[in-house]
Chains A and B, each alone.
Chain A
């Protein structure tokens, strides 16, 4: 197979695939900062598209009625009949939707995009409007997450073929993409091309080798291979096309690296498979034994060949970064659940108030009509065609006041150090599990910060998924010193983040209070304790509801003092039993204003 392709050409290939069949390939997750290179890539695609192709940029915080569609209130009031308004998704039919900061997209946005990708339609059932409109769109999700932040929702990313980052050369030296008649020709060749049996098996085999379970990925890879072949004016897919498609679609989704195959140069050529009649490609008639490439044996080995070629072409840094990504995915993938309600139009109605139904606020029709009713005569409401037309003014409009129950997020900070492990780690885990069970029923969220030795980590970001919580708890090791100051800082920050997003945090710190590691990782009890005091004061100044559970065999007065600095309740429990811990947490929750 051919030699290594530069990254630029791969991103150009991705762009061309999207131009050829946007709805079929679904789009791309574009990772990296908002720089000139990324802008260059997006512009190049937009310029190459046929004129009139829809191209929309989704503002963050877009509300359901603008996204999905709903009642066009102005037109409704003007004409006197319900008039529906299509949303952005329907307007983007056969075009592109660009989602900046896609990693922060609200759950409803990611969900709506995923649903539109699946069905090719957007279904609307809201505010008295019921409609289905075609929405065969491609999504360009711009993922700007850094470091440990959560990436784009998995449910959305799975429905987009590519995941790439744009090399610098796109900033000022962008390749020219096919356009106009050339693009139309590409589309025609693509429509005529097909994957043969061998190619299908090769892609399925390659997906298995890279540990990609989602069948969609194989379908995307097939289409990408056909588009790449079309670029070469072929309607038959060849090995190189497959390799490029695997590199573009399957490698970014890899959950494992395939084992390297032993070199086959000295092995006798395997017998040709009887059940495989590949359609003779018109321009590859030279099946001569002098071909440098190994003879295609049983179907699996084409997959192996493709995988080998791809592995060979991967630059080493990329392999390393893939490895790191897989580690992060194993540590905790899964989409963001239970996105906190900002002031979006969700929840139960609890009242009505004057206002314009804009920005997600919903019209309270009955209250509006009731307000307008007494004024009809004065306003000269007339009979038109035997039907009485209502005269409604802006000041009559009433909107609904909604309330959504904001759940509590219980942020556990667990001291997993050696001293604690000696005492109570196992019991602490059990107690937390029982608290989780209660949270499950109440629909609260839980988060877990673990500190020991030189590390503090957010073992579990706020989640409602109990399966994840349990897995994380089970895998938590113990040992090392007690970096109490760092642990306090970390859980305080997490709680503030929850508060900023509109949730209600509650911190539960389980420790024996014997701090002996300072923030910079060095040992030494005096300094560690002094720093822990400082952290506690800072925590206390944030007014975060908290409970400190003292898990040492005899109550530690220093910890009681620390709790006071934190403004937290102190519960010295010589034996941390699940039910007593639960009662203590509930007491703290109750004492906080709802």
Chain B
């Protein structure tokens, strides 16, 4: 087993020396080429337009392409502006919400330069240990110089982006605790091994898993703004198309990606436009009232369901290119925002989607289109 020498790079340390070349060869299946899964795509686009909606939880059987969609995000998302030299990728326009390092640099009179960088989509892989997730003592400096320095972890890298946890229902409890803590406060506080660091960590948490293999803690499930139920399409034509595209991708990934890059560029433009449009989107009182009626009818816990529904509907309207939310948007996003918030005994999650669908039809009338 030969050893790889690693030096943590400026962004927190990543690839071994001989791995980089191989990885650039591995193309990612494009977002636009994914067949079906419209609900999942909508949920992720909403989260990209308005991160305050909350995280996205993807329930589904294995083999339903859950992780394919998430891994297609980095190529899809428009790049963002970040402070050059900042380890956490602070937003130059964030004012006092920047990290302590940036604020210090400003205080001593340095002018912070902005640079364009891709939105981070970070994986929390299996077997991750707490020191790599939260960040820890910089091993190299400690060993070689006896110096105490902080090495940022995955939560730092995911700041202003996405953190993806596959099989989140099997995640160890103490890591779940950590994620919950950070999700609530928007900050990661590290007190370990003699270091004391506090840095911003606001990201969209995307989790996926098969509910048959273990349930999510209710506190964790509640953290997710949107929940998607994914099933493989049963339509034969759709399945043929999936196979055809997958085959084409494997045969010539570069050509496939190039072919779909236009569709992805279009989606990217509409994302950018949606973000700009979002502050102007209004919700008429009548639409708002009907949405509240829906929540009451379903018996959702507390008000968080309604707030999420509202935010998601506005983002959906922005994506659709309009500035006034209509019932149509509410119908589209209600299942996403509410299916995991129904007040129920935890044993009855099988029927949530159906229940939400029925309540929607009752309130808004059966969909005509």
Interaction A to B: yes
| Residue positions of A touching B, CB distance < 8 A | 24, 64, 67-68, 71-72, 75-77, 80-86, 91, 107-108, 111-112, 115, 118, 120-121, 123-134, 154-155, 158, 194-195, 200-201, 203-205, 207-208, 213-219, 222, 333-338, 346-348, 362, 365-366, 369, 373, 387-390, 404-405, 433, 436-437, 440-441, 443, 464-471
List, sorted by A's number, 21 A–B pairs whose CB atoms are closer than 8 Å: A80-B144, A83-B3, A84-B4, A111-B167, A127-B132, A128-B151, A133-B16, A134-B26, A158-B62, A208-B236, A214-B62, A219-B243, A335-B212, A336-B213, A338-B170, A369-B146, A388-B145, A390-B146, A404-B173, A436-B347, A465-B214
Of chain B, the residue at the smallest CB distance from A81 is B140
Contact indicator A205/B236 (Cβ below 8 Å): yes
A-facing residues in B1-37 (Cβ within 8 Å): 1-8, 12-16, 19, 22-23, 26
- Residues of A near B65 (CB, < 8 A) are 215
Q: Are B125 and A125 in contact (CB under 8 A)?
A: yes
- Chain B nearest CB from A90 CB (Å) reads 9
Residues in B lying within 8 Å of A, measured CB to CB = 1-8, 12-16, 19, 22-23, 26, 61-63, 65, 67, 123-129, 131-133, 136-137, 139-140, 142-146, 151, 153-154, 166-167, 169-170, 172-174, 193-194, 210-215, 217-218, 232, 234, 236, 239-240, 242-244, 246-247, 250-251, 345-350
B211 touches A467 (CB 8 A): yes
B212-A334 in contact (CB<8A): yes
In the complex, are the beta carbons of B19 and A215 less than 8 A apart?
Answer: no
Complex: chain A residue closest to B218, CB-CB = A441
Contact between B127 and A390, CB atoms less than 8 A apart: no
Residues of B within 8 A of A131 (CB): 4, 6, 14-16, 19
Which residues of the partner chain A approach B244 to less than 8 Å between Cβ atoms?
200
Given A64-B127, A126-B132, A348-B174, A204:B144 Cβ within 8 A:
no
How far does the Cβ of B82 sit from chain A's closest Cβ, in whole Å? 20
A474 to chain B, nearest CB (A): 10
Give the contacting residue for B212; candidates A64, A433, A467; CB below 8 A: A467
Instruction: Report A-chain residues with C-beta under 8 Å of the C-beta of B15.
Output: 131-132
How many inter-chain residue pairs (CB < 8 Å) link A and B?
233
Q: Are B129 and A125 in contact (CB under 8 A)?
A: yes
One of A219, A440, A468 near B246 (C-beta < 8 A): A219
When distances are taken between beta carbons in the complex, the residues of chain A under 8 Å from B7 are 81
Pair B13/A347 contact, Cβ less than 8 Å: no
Q: Which single member of A125, A133, A195, A470 contacts B19 (CB below 8 Å)?
A: A133
Q: A118-B67, A132-B19 are in contact. Are A83 and B6 (CB under 8 A)?
A: yes
Which of B126, B142, B243 is close to A369, meaning CB atoms less than 8 Å apart? B142
Taking a contact as CB atoms closer than 8 A, the residue among A124, A365, A373 that contacts B125 in the complex is A124
B120 to chain A, nearest CB (A): 13
**B351 CB, nearest partner CB in chain A, Å:** 11
Q: Are B26 and A120 in contact (CB under 8 A)?
A: yes
B126 in contact with A111 (CB, 8 Å)? yes
- What's the least CB distance linking B194 to chain A, in Å? 6
In the A-B complex, list the 6 residue pairs whose CB atoms are closest, starting with the nearest.
Answer: A337-B214, A214-B63, A123-B125, A470-B347, A125-B132, A334-B212
Q: Please tell me which one of the listed residues A67, A134, A336, A366 contacts residue B193 in the complex, with CB atoms under 8 A apart.
A: A366
User: A214: which B residues are within 8 A, CB to CB?
Assistant: 61-63, 232
Are B142 and A115 touching (Cβ within 8 A)?
no
The reply to whether A81 and B142 contact each other, CB–CB distance below 8 Å, is no
Q: A84-B4, A123-B125, A441-B218 are in contact. Are A466 and B137 (CB under 8 A)?
A: no
Bound: A553/B218 CA distance, A: 37
Identify which of A125, A127, A200, A437 contacts B154 (C-beta below 8 A): A125
Taking A129-B132, A336-B213, A469-B347 as known contacts, 18 extra A-B pairs with beta carbons closer than 8 A to each other, sorted by chain A number, are A84-B4, A84-B5, A85-B1, A115-B166, A129-B6, A195-B247, A204-B236, A214-B61, A335-B210, A337-B169, A338-B170, A365-B193, A436-B347, A440-B218, A441-B218, A465-B215, A468-B212, A470-B348
Q: Chain B contacts of A437 at CB under 8 A?
A: 345-347
Tell me the bound Cα distance from A222 to B251 in angstroms: 13
Which residues from chain A contact B173 at a C-beta distance below 8 Å?
A: 404-405, 443
Residue pair A366, B23 in contact (C-beta under 8 Å): no
B3 to chain A, nearest CB (A): 5
- In the bound complex, residues from chain A placing their C-beta under 8 Å from that of B140 are 81-82
State in angstroms the CA–CA spacing of A340 and B214 once bound together: 13
Chain B positions within 8 Å of A68 at CB level: 126-127
The smallest beta-carbon distance between A346 and chain B, in angstroms, is: 6
How far does the Cβ of A292 sit from chain B's closest Cβ, in whole Å?
A: 28
Separation of A132 and B22 alpha carbons in the complex (Å): 10
Q: A81-B144, A204-B239 are in contact. Are A128 and B346 (CB under 8 A)?
A: no
B209, chain A: closest CB distance, angstroms: 10
- Are B14 and A215 in touch, CB under 8 angstroms? no
Residue on A nearest B244 in the bound complex, by CB: A200
Whether B347 pairs with A158 at a CB distance below 8 angstroms is no
Contacts of A108 in B (CB 8 A): 126-127
Q: What A residues does B151 contact at CB under 8 A?
A: 128
Bound-complex Cα distance A405 to B177 (A): 13
Q: Give min CB distance, B367 to chain A, whole Å.
A: 26
Cβ contact of A84, chosen from B16, B61, B212, B217, cutoff 8 A:
B16
How many angstroms between the C-alpha atoms of A338 and B215 in the bound complex?
A: 10
Chain A residues with Cβ below 8 Å from B167 are: 111
Cα A357 to Cα B198 with chains together (Å): 30
Interchain CA distance A470-B211 in the complex, whole Å: 13
Chain A residues closer than 8 Å to B126, beta-carbon distance: 68, 108, 111-112, 115
Determine whether the beta carbon of B129 is less than 8 Å from that of A130: no
Knowing A83-B4, A125-B133, A366-B137 touch, does A465 contact B232 (C-beta < 8 A)?
no
Nearest residue in A to B22 (C-beta to C-beta)? Answer: A134
Residue on B with the closest CB to A384?
B144
Q: Which residue of B lies closest to A348 (CB)?
A: B174
Question: Contact: B128 with A125, CB < 8 Å?
Answer: yes
Minimum CB distance partner of B166 in chain A: A115
Q: A123-B123, A132-B23 are in contact. Are A433 and B345 (CB under 8 A)?
A: yes
Chain B residues with CB below 8 A from A128, complex form: 131-132, 136, 139, 151
Q: Which residues of A contact B234 (CB under 8 A)?
A: 208, 213
Chain A residue, CB-CB nearest to B68: A118
Q: Cα distance A426–B151 when bound, in Å?
A: 57
Docked pose: A201 CA to B239 CA in angstroms: 9
* B215 A466 Cβ-Cβ under 8 A: yes
CA distance A477 to B347 in the complex (A): 19
- For A126, the chain B residues whose CB sits under 8 A away are 127-129, 131-132
In the assembled complex, the CB of A432 is this many whole angstroms from the nearest CB of chain B, namely: 10
A218 with B26: in contact, given A84-B6, A132-B14, A365-B193 (CB under 8 Å)? Answer: no
**What A residues does B348 contact at CB under 8 A?**
470
A435 to chain B, nearest CB (A): 11
> Smallest distance from the beta carbon of B150 to chain A beta carbons, Å?
12
> Quick check: A365 and B137 within 8 Å, CB to CB?
yes
Contact A387 B144 (CB under 8 A): yes
Counting chain B CB atoms within 10 Å of each CB, the highest count among A77, A91, A155 belongs to: A155
B145 and A215 within 8 A (CB) = no
Residues of chain A with a CB closer than 8 A to B23's CB: 121, 132, 134
| Distance in Å: Cβ of B132 to nearest Cβ of chain A | 4
- Chain B residues positioned under 8 Å from A125 (CB to CB): 124-125, 127-129, 132-133, 153-154
B residues within 8 A CB of A76?
Answer: 139, 143
Contact A467 B154 (CB under 8 A): no
In the assembled complex, the CB of B49 is this many whole angstroms from the nearest CB of chain A, namely: 28
- Nearest residue (CB) in B for A463 is B214
Q: Are A465 and B128 in contact (CB under 8 A)?
A: no
Nearest CB on B from A117, distance (A): 11
A279: shortest Cβ distance to chain B, in Å?
15
- Which listed residue, A81, A111, A470, touches B143 by the CB 8 Å rule? A81
Q: A104 to chain B: closest CB distance in Å?
A: 17
Contacts of B139 in A (CB 8 A): 71, 76, 82, 128, 365
Say yes or no: A465 contacts B211, CB within 8 Å.
yes
Bound CA span A442–B270, Å: 44
A213 touches B143 (CB 8 A): no
Determine the distance from Cα of A83 to Cα of B3 in the docked complex, in whole angstroms: 6
Instruction: Check if A158 sits within 8 Å of B14, measured CB to CB.
Output: no
Measured in the bound complex, the distance between the Cα atoms of B22 and A68 in whole Å is 18
